[in-house]
Structure 1
Amino acid sequence: MDEQLDHAPCGFLTLSETGIILSINHTLLKILNYTEDQLRGQHVNSILTVPARLFFQLYFFPLVKLDHQVEEMYISLKTSKDEEIPVLINALQRRRKESTVLECVLIPMRKRSEYENELLLAKKETEVALKAKDKANAELKTILKKLEIQKEELLELNKQNQKYKIETKKELELARIIQETSLTAPINNEKVQMEIFYNASGELSGDIYGIYQMDQHRYGIILLDVMGHGISSALITMTLHSLFQRLISAGFAVDLVMKELDSHLHKLFQNNEEARHYSTAIYLLINTDRQTIDYINAGHPPALWQDPDGKQYELGSTAPPLGTFEGIVFKTNTFPYKEGGRLLLYTDGIDPLASNHLSPLLRNTIPLPLFKVKEEILQSLNNEKNIYHKSDDESFILIDLK
């Protein structure tokens, strides 16, 4: 990196297509309080806040793939001391030799945000003070009378709220049971062996999966993660579940399944953009007779395929998340596999493990049976929770192909 760019009055970094930091200038390193050796080769998530990671997943990378650039996107970076730094980012996708890189310019907005917040606060305080001064004497007696009435009303509302809280808790528990009952059981036979983990961060989950044996040789496995948590996300997972269960069981092709799920989300929110939800998804069709795997990854964390000899491949994102852009063409990817290979699919609740744990963990547990590998992943996940105190829906599926 030349001297002028290295010390420019703005941050500059280059990323690979998968988000790996290839280079970073001195200005941005100083802002983030890192050294170049600490960040080069790391995933960009290491300098993003949790909301910014989701923003990158749902908007930044899909926009770059579609338009080859991003202009004036507002996000927050995270320093080595966990301080949030608001920035404007402009990015351009550029071809270099045999690879494609993302060149990003980041302009800190901390001072501007502070000034705007101070001005808004001062304006609000002035308006409140003026109104209070003009009306205080005239309204004091009326307010006291209203407060007495409101006190009685609040006592009654509190009783109603307690009753509603108890009833709502019962309804949520019933909804949780219904949601978990809809989940399919793992398939274990002479061709495939599976282990599953599913854990909601609250009463209801935005994660959903389905496992179906379509005939003697074909198996469909789908894993989705609807944005957000709680009731709204859970309701959407149930509508998606009903649809993909019917499509996969009927033997529809991989691209048609994803296209129908995408169309369903667009139709669901076509009259209400404010309520729009998106969903990442990965669907695999395993053919044990041909020993092939067809798959499409729509903005989902990359699944891991491991050959019997330990060589690994990432089944990365091939399309934006479902429900983001209309008219997306879903292209099916196919690869052959050898007997003895192992698959790992997971949602972003397991994502902090991806860069540091999942890949080496899978490689180091080749001789172990699947239930032991599952225990190892859960132990690593618990260790990560102790460090990051993270709360998110957690799901993963382990598959051995015999």
Structure 2
Amino acid sequence: MDQQLDFAPCGYFSISDTGIIHSANQTFATMLAYERDELIGKHIESFMSMTNKLFFHTYFYPYMQLYGHVNEIYLSLQSSGRLDVPVLLNGVRQTRDGETFMDCVIVEMRRRLEHEKDVLATKQRLEHLVQETNETNHKLELLHQEYETKQRELMSVNLQLETLALTDPLTGLKNRRFFNESLLSHLSKFHRSGELFSIALIDIDRFKSINDTYGHPVGDLVLTDLARLLNTSSRETDVTARFGGEEFVILLAGADESQAVHVAERLRAAIEAATLGNLNITASIGVATITLEDTDDRLINKADQALYESKASGRNRVTHAMDLKAAE
């Protein structure tokens, strides 16, 4: 960690999806009166009261899973002397080298601000609940047991939310958001190691006429059957997703131009030979292979142009973006 970030006028820490601290700057360690080594590897909730743990679970994790960021959360952390340190927290969920982290910045707040009245009201209700549990050890034990149960339920809900956020509800394939995250990860790996990969955009030919002739239920059945065919025909290292409407996309890990075209042609033939939704359909495919000049948007655009060429050339065919460049 460079010195500017290490001694920035705000605390910084990065945690895993399960809350384990992976890194922290010196400002954060000083704020809590700990040595930095005492923070790394610990769960962030180790530095929270029971009230703030509950608040963190009911707001921070679900919001991060759904939206990928949080802004201006007011809560208190506990220093090594068990003193409350009120802070304002911003966080963002990011993927680095294939792993997901939640990077957080905190600013110490010595004066209590009126902030997010609905969040504050929730916090006050939780504090009242904790105060009531202090009446007897028995009530405290019951609350602890209830908290453990709720924590497990929340972890399960968070997992379900993450799955729903990354899955297409009709076909069960990964959705465009998941594909985009995977594409960025492979793009970063390509720039580090030079490992090639390709993408193939697959579009059902004349899908509108299927819906118009047979109805949307049959159209949906065609989509789900095609999704099943693509999924069973893909390798474990590939990423198969619904790109939108009748369009699907496959990220072919490690595939160069000729390999990607071979795979795409095999898929095209399999689609033509299959009965999907009790119909015989065809699909057009556009393929693009990563180059040093490509960004994620540029690579998708190249595959999309190749797909357009397959459509314009009579459908039911495979076109690689390099074919377009050679024809210019």
- Identify whether the pair has TM-score above 0.5, normalized to the shorter chain: no
- TM-score of the two chains, using structure 1 as the length reference: 0.32
**Higher normalized helix content (fraction of residues):** 2
**Higher normalized strand content (fraction of residues):** 1
